[in-house]
Amino acid sequence: MHAVDIIAKKRDGLALSQEEINWFIDAYTTDALPDYQAAAFLMAVCIRGMNRQEISDLTLAMARSGEMLDLAKLLGGYAVDKHSSGGVGDKTTLVVLPLVASCGVPVAKMSGRGLGFSGGTLDKLESIHGFNVNLTTEQFEALARKNGLVLAGQSKDLAPADGKLYALRDVTGTVPSLPLIASSIMSKKLAAGANGIVLDVKMGEGAFMTSLEDARQLAQMMVDIGVDSGRDMIAVISDMNQPLGHAVGNALEMAEAIETLQGGGPSDFREHCLQVAAYMLRLAGQGQRWTDESEARALLDEHLDNGQALAKFRQMVAAQGGDVEMVDDPSKLPQATYQVDVTADEAGYIAQVSAKAVALAAFELGAGRERKGDPIDLAVGVKVHVKVGDQVGPGAKLATIYANDEGRLAACRKYLDEGITFHREPVAPLPLFYDTIMG
């Protein structure tokens, strides 16, 4: 086969065969093709699109470019996983994993670090002193078997083709292509080896997908890919116009996750976690258990309120070398030097709490990294105390800035002043979820 023929075929809008896709991905992963041909291929896909069969073939070819885990074998039965397309204040994994594991459903998950203004679960975990996210494959597997709960970085080279292609997409204007996004995300999920996957596709101005139509299309595409490779799939489309919960910033989000595991926490965040966890139980129940959603919800509610989910989280922290005193007393988590409140100048209804503005405000303080490997400040961030639709009076506390560098306060404040807006008339609250797609 010749790369140029495959590129030209896609350029002309024709469907590629499985053999052609496999050949191209294999050749690129093994450095047998130059970047310029892969870039031309990506641009052709970006402009011409792909049909369902091509997208599934591309995803599997990328998934098989590295190791494929067998989580079901490791966990001794059906394995369930979750994935979020990335949001502001999204600390869902920190709550949902121990919550689901506390119901007797083991979970072994590989997570990532934050990049740009979106946070990463590994960074949030590292706000607990000593917590080791760099487990060897043997350690990862041993903890999964022993405790039924492990959360770490990638110890194996999962979907290396995606790593190479993503870096190229980043510099060739080919990131915003639904088939490329869906295959990129799902190649890593398929390689991670779960039987059932709950996808949390964020929609809104603080998310990758800014329209409901695009979010629905992406969710459906990922569900189809999973189904085509024999996985059980549920995708929820959730709101990311305003931050999830109150806290944005690594240690602040960890504290909020612990508060939620203690039975408290912001009501929107708790509800979000319960819904995602209920779907994970539903998949893990394989049509035998938790077929009635209200039964699953009642169990999950109970485990948040009676400390069982928190105990599971504590066990995971101890097993991965973390300081459990920080779990027992979150005030021992990294703390910022300066705490500054942002207050309302006028009375009214909150019209917007821009997720993007809050993320940029936290980024300004040093909570995120611009490039892979950049250091971050775990203690800093923003807590937003209001939600769209809330009625506030003059002087009401809208947000608190947690900073270590006084010089960055003004710029951070500017983002918040512009991002939190008011109306005189009542404003409807934003929904938590827009849709659910079952596969």
187 or 354: whose CB is closer to ligand URA?
Answer: 187
CA distance 382 to 200: 23
185 or 247: whose CB is closer to ligand URA?
Answer: 185
Binding to ligand URA, residues 55-94 (CB under 6 A): none
The residue from 111, 184, 187, 354 that is catalytic is 184
- Residue 225 Cβ, how far from ligand URA at the closest point, in Å? 13
End-to-end CA distance of the chain: 35
Adjacency order of strands within the sheet including 338-343:
247-248, 381-384, 397-403, 338-343
The residue from 83, 109, 270, 383 that is catalytic is 83
Give CA angle at 154 (164, 94), nearest 5°.
125
* Chain position whose Cβ is nearest to ligand URA: 184
- Residue 208 Cβ, how far from ligand URA at the closest point, in Å? 6
Where are any strands of DSSP class E within 186-289? Answer: 196-203, 232-239, 247-248
62 or 149: whose CB is closer to ligand URA?
Answer: 62
Q: Which residue has the tokens 């800093």?
A: 380
CA distance 396 to 124: 29
- Options 39, 151, 181, 234; binder of ligand URA; rule CB under 6 A: 181
Do 354 and 164 meet the contact criterion of CB atoms below 8 Å apart?
no
- Residue 253 Cβ, how far from ligand URA at the closest point, in Å? 20
- Options 61, 185, 283, 401; binder of ligand URA; rule CB under 6 A: 185
DSSP structure class, residue 211: S
Q: Which stretch binds ligand URA (CB under 6 A): 5-13, 123-131, 179-187, 268-276?
A: 179-187
- Residue 371 Cβ, how far from ligand URA at the closest point, in Å? 17
Buried residues in 148-180 as b, exposed as e (16+ CB within 10 A): bbbbbbbbeebbbbbbbbbebbeebebeebbbb
CA distance 308 to 263: 10
Q: Which contiguous run of DSSP H or E holds residue 423?
A: strand 420-423
DSSP structure class, residue 340: E
Of residues 309, 261, 263, 316, the one with CA closest to residue 102: 309
Do 242 and 389 meet the contact criterion of CB atoms below 8 Å apart?
no
Q: Which stretch binds ligand URA (CB under 6 A): 127-135, 180-188, 321-329, 399-407?
A: 180-188
Q: Residue 385 catalytic?
A: no
Binding to ligand URA, residues 129-168 (CB under 6 A): 166
The residue from 57, 81, 123, 162 that is catalytic is 162
- Options 93, 184, 260, 275; binder of ligand URA; rule CB under 6 A: 184
181 or 379: whose CB is closer to ligand URA?
Answer: 181
Do 89 and 249 meet the contact criterion of CB atoms below 8 Å apart?
no
Q: Residue 303 catalytic?
A: no
Half-sphere exposure at residue 233, Cβ-oriented, CA atoms within 13 angstroms: 24
- Residue 220 Cβ, how far from ligand URA at the closest point, in Å? 16
Q: Residue 184 catalytic?
A: yes
- Residue 255 Cβ, how far from ligand URA at the closest point, in Å? 27
The residue from 113, 169, 231, 314 that is catalytic is 169
Binding to ligand URA, residues 192-231 (CB under 6 A): 208
Q: Which stretch binds ligand URA (CB under 6 A): 176-184, 379-387, 413-421, 428-436?
A: 176-184
Q: Residue 188 catalytic?
A: yes
Q: Residue 294 catalytic?
A: no
- Residue 233 Cβ, how far from ligand URA at the closest point, in Å? 17
- Which pair of tokens denotes residue 354? 């821009």
Interface residues toward ligand URA, by CB under 6 A: 166, 180-181, 184-185, 208
The catalytic residues are 83, 162, 169, 184, 188
